[in-house]
Amino acid sequence: MGSALAVDIDPIIIKGSKFFYSSNNTQFYIRGVAYQDDYTGNSSSSYIDPLSNPTLCKRDIPILQELNTNVIRVYAIDPTKDHSTCMNLLAAAGIYVISDLSNPAQSIDRSDPTWETSLYTRYTDVIDELIQYNNTLGFFAGNEVSNDIATTDASAYVKAAVRDTKAYIKSRGYRSIGVGYATNDDSDIRVNMADYFNCGTEDESIDFWGYNIYSWCGESSYTKSGYDDRTEEFRNYSVPVFFSEYGCNTVSPRKFTDIEALFGDKMNDVWSGGIVYMYFQTDNDYGLVSAIDSTSISKLPDFTYYSSQIARATPTGTNKASYTPTNTALQSCPAVSANSWLATSSPLPPTPNESLCTCMENTAGCVVKDSVSSSDYADLFSTVCGLTSCDGILHNGTTGVYGAYSMCGAKQQLDFILDKYWKEQGKKATACGFGGSATTTSTVQATGSCSVLMKEVGTEGTGTVTSKSTGTQVAESAGVSAVGSVGSASLGRSVVVGVGAWQVGAYVVTAVVAGLGMVLL
């Protein structure tokens, strides 16, 4: 984590549906480049932090300047690393950063989405690291999470992430900075997606909208590409919209003739520019340059065409002082329909609350053994949920029903249902066995704020937390005191295990749907 001795650069602010420099009246248009080498998305846990290697930044920033770049988009950074050198070099070059908050190993999974404590921590850690630099323009809470009708329920969890990261920024007293979302261009969901993330209240709606669009291929046109229709769809949108990725490569080399349209009179009153995909050449063949070694690159044919086109992108824009937004109304939320949209707009998933999860975990008398592999959790969830109600950990973005502990880690959730079943059986030793996977441990009593939280959610875990939490309480400060022991003690169990939370949802739902009754222990 860096300590910013920040280069003086004017922060970018949002007014209405446009970006502006904060200290003058000039509208800011994004002339951006996606900048992340060897990023594998959801297929791998590995990634290279593009802002933590000063040598590479010194190599690439002059090249980005040649491309008239004023924004780079990075898809994953490591918040524990020092980014001060790269961020200050970028600031000195007049380049801002939009960063995704997730990484390949920690993101909202469209196939079984959840918004939970460890991911919340990841998001807030990235914010804490990058907010110290004035050339951080904003954050993406998700990228193409919902990509067809069947996965639109995942948008409820992304919108909860937008709500909670915005609230976190405000609670920390940070400067005003936007949190947005980058969507794909799917004809079946694109209108509903844009409406959903811009409906309800401003506290839970996006601050800007990114559009990943690859419809202008080769010598296309404003109408043939559909740019005309997309522009009309967003003409009355209340927040800035821009291309968060663009640059179709079905025709090579790419000549980027869409740049003239994007920054021209037909589009520049609606769109705030765009981010071309991408700087580095990889197997997907979208690169502007090819890295030779740590100090040199080779410019590819796309580089020359892009450079020529972006150099002519000089829209005048709107004067901030004389600009009074008229498109201030939020959109109407799309209705849930099996044929078109699966995410309810209210309620959204609960805010991750590590204090509640820790309180619950430390008051549980029957818990999963530390020796049990997280890969075995799924079977254990399925078994226990055949014996007791698991409503306290279930979550459903379509119905809007969320257990209070649905935002806890998988081990914490397992402890909750194991302990719940054990207590329902009168704390019999045989009710905390499960083939040697569970064990009794020291019993504790919740007091103070911990007691308040536990009472609010109830023994079934289906209540709603109304008390405010700092999100950093541990057992002692939350009011947990030991009152005795049963069986072998195992204190200090406040560990969030990084297993895919999808196991909880998928296997619990399977058990419920199958109508499991008694399952032999």
Distance CA 378, CA 501 (A): 10
Q: For the chain, how big is the Rg over CA atoms in Å?
A: 25
The answer to whether residues 456 and 463 touch, using CB atoms and an 8 Å cutoff, is yes
HEC-encoded secondary structure of 327-382: CCCCECCCCCECCCECCCCCCCCCCCCHHHHHHHHHCCCEEECCCCCHHHHHHHHH
The answer to whether residues 438 and 418 touch, using CB atoms and an 8 Å cutoff, is yes
The answer to whether residues 98 and 139 touch, using CB atoms and an 8 Å cutoff, is yes
What residue has token string 């914010």?
127
What residue has token string 């961020």?
87
Single-letter residue type at 405? Y
The answer to whether residues 223 and 215 touch, using CB atoms and an 8 Å cutoff, is no
DSSP designation for 1:
-
Q: How many CB atoms lie within 10 A of CB 420?
A: 23
Q: How many CB atoms lie within 10 A of CB 6?
A: 15
Q: Exactly one of 144, 204, 354, 361 is catalytic; name it.
A: 144
Ramachandran bin of 190, using left for φ above 0, alpha for ψ from -120 to 50, beta for the remaining angles: alpha
116 catalytically annotated: no
354 catalytically annotated: no
What residue has token string 């079934």?
460
Q: Exactly one of 129, 245, 354, 361 is catalytic; name it.
A: 245
The dihedral through the CA atoms of 416, 418, 419, 421 has a sign that is: positive
Tokens of 226: 């559909």
Angle between helices 377-384 and 410-424 (to 10 degrees): 30
SS3 category, 426:
coil
Q: Which positions are catalytic?
A: 144, 245
